[in-house]
Structure 1
Amino acid sequence: MLTVYWKMYVHSKEEDNITRYPALDQMTDNPFHLWEDHSEESSMLTLATGFLSDEQFYIISLFMIYSSQIINICSIIANSLSIAVFVKLGFSEPSNISLTALAVCDFTLAVLYTWCNLCFWLTYHNVRLPFHSANVSYLTGGAQFAFLSTTVAWITAFISFERCLCILVPLKVRRLITRRGTFVAILIIILFTFCPSFFTYIRYKFVWVFNPYLNRTILNTIPVNSEFAILLEKISLVICGVIQPLLAFSIVLICTVLLVVQLRKISSWRMSVTSVKGQQGQLEKNTAASSSAAEARISQKEERLVRMVVAIATMFIVSYFPTCITLLCYVIFDEFNMFGVYRRLSLVSSHITSLGQPVSGSVNILIYYKMASKFRSVFRRLVRLDRQ
Structure 2
Amino acid sequence: MCLHFTEEDNTTLYSALHQMTDNPFHLWENHSKDSSMLTLPSGFLNDEQFYIIFLFIIYTLQLINNCAIIINSLIIAVFVKLGFSEPSNISLTALAVCDFTLAVLLTWNNLCFWLSYHNVRLPFHSANVSLLTGGAQWAFLSSTVAWITAFISFERCLCILVPLKVRRLITPRGTFVAMLIIILLTFCPSFFIYVRYKFVWVFDPYLNITILNTIPVNSEFAILFEKISFVICGVIQPLLAFSIVLVCTVLLVVQLRKISSWRMSVTSAKSKRVRSEENPAASSSAAEARICQKEERLVRMVVGIAFIFIVSYIPTCIFLLCYVVFDEFNQFGVYRRLFMVSSFIISLGQPISGSVNILIYYKMASKFRSVFRRLVRLDRQERRELE
TM bin, normalised by shorter chain, reads 0.7 to 0.9
- Residues 99/146 of structure 1: CA separation in 2 closer, same or farther (3 Å cut): same
1:254 is matched with which residue? 247
The answer to whether 1:105 aligns with 2:133 is: no
1:135-146 maps to which residues of 2 (within 5 A)? Answer: 135-146=128-139
Q: Check conservation: 2:259, 2:292, Cα contact below 8 A.
A: no
2:312 is matched with which residue? 319
1:189-204 maps to which residues of 2 (within 5 A)? Answer: 189-204=182-197
Flag structure 1 segments of 5+ consecutive residues without an equivalent: 1-21
Aligned CA RMSD, in angstroms, stands at: 3.0
The answer to whether 1:178 aligns with 2:168 is: no
- Residues 199/334 of structure 1: CA separation in 2 closer, same or farther (3 Å cut): closer
Return the offset for 1:325.
Answer: 1.1
In 2, Cα distance between equivalents of 1:68 and 1:147: 19
For residue 334 of structure 1, give the secondary structure of its aligned residue in structure 2.
coil
Return the offset for 1:24.
Answer: 5.9
- Residues 34/264 of structure 1: CA separation in 2 closer, same or farther (3 Å cut): farther
For residue 299 of structure 1, give the secondary structure of its aligned residue in structure 2.
helix
In 1, Cα distance between equivalents of 2:223 and 2:58: 31
Question: Aligned letter for 1:220?
Answer: N
Percentage of matched positions with identical amino acids: 83
For residue 161 of structure 1, give the secondary structure of its aligned residue in structure 2.
helix
The answer to whether 1:56 aligns with 2:52 is: no
2:363 is matched with which residue? 370
Question: Aligned letter for 2:69?
Answer: I
TM-score (norm. length: structure 1): 0.84
For residue 214 of structure 2, give the secondary structure of its aligned residue in structure 1.
strand
Question: Aligned letter for 1:188?
Answer: I
For residue 244 of structure 2, give the secondary structure of its aligned residue in structure 1.
helix
- Residues 333/298 of structure 1: CA separation in 2 closer, same or farther (3 Å cut): farther
1:350 is matched with which residue? 343
- Residues 338/28 of structure 1: CA separation in 2 closer, same or farther (3 Å cut): closer
Question: Aligned letter for 1:252?
Answer: V
For residue 378 of structure 2, give the secondary structure of its aligned residue in structure 1.
coil
In 2, Cα distance between equivalents of 1:327 and 1:228: 23
- Residues 301/312 of structure 1: CA separation in 2 closer, same or farther (3 Å cut): same
In 1, Cα distance between equivalents of 2:147 and 2:139: 13
In 2, Cα distance between equivalents of 1:347 and 1:205: 21
1:300 is matched with which residue? 293
For residue 379 of structure 2, give the secondary structure of its aligned residue in structure 1.
coil
Q: Check conservation: 2:20, 2:332, Cα contact below 8 A.
A: no
1:126-165 maps to which residues of 2 (within 5 A)? Answer: 126-165=119-158
Q: Check conservation: 2:152, 2:302, Cα contact below 8 A.
A: yes
In 2, Cα distance between equivalents of 1:23 and 1:33: 15
- Residues 174/106 of structure 1: CA separation in 2 closer, same or farther (3 Å cut): same
In 1, Cα distance between equivalents of 2:142 and 2:344: 14
Return the offset for 1:40.
Answer: 10
Q: Check conservation: 1:102, 1:155, Cα contact below 8 A.
A: yes
Q: How many pairs were matched up? A: 357
In 2, Cα distance between equivalents of 1:249 and 1:142: 21
Deviation track 1:201-235 (CA, whole Å, cap 9, x = no partner) reads 23322221112232211011223344443333222
For residue 171 of structure 1, give the secondary structure of its aligned residue in structure 2.
coil
Q: Check conservation: 1:97, 1:183, Cα contact below 8 A.
A: yes
In 2, Cα distance between equivalents of 1:82 and 1:358: 14
- Residues 305/328 of structure 1: CA separation in 2 closer, same or farther (3 Å cut): same
Return the offset for 1:341.
Answer: 3.8
Aligned partner of 2:116 among 123, 136, 140: 123
The answer to whether 1:221 aligns with 2:211 is: no
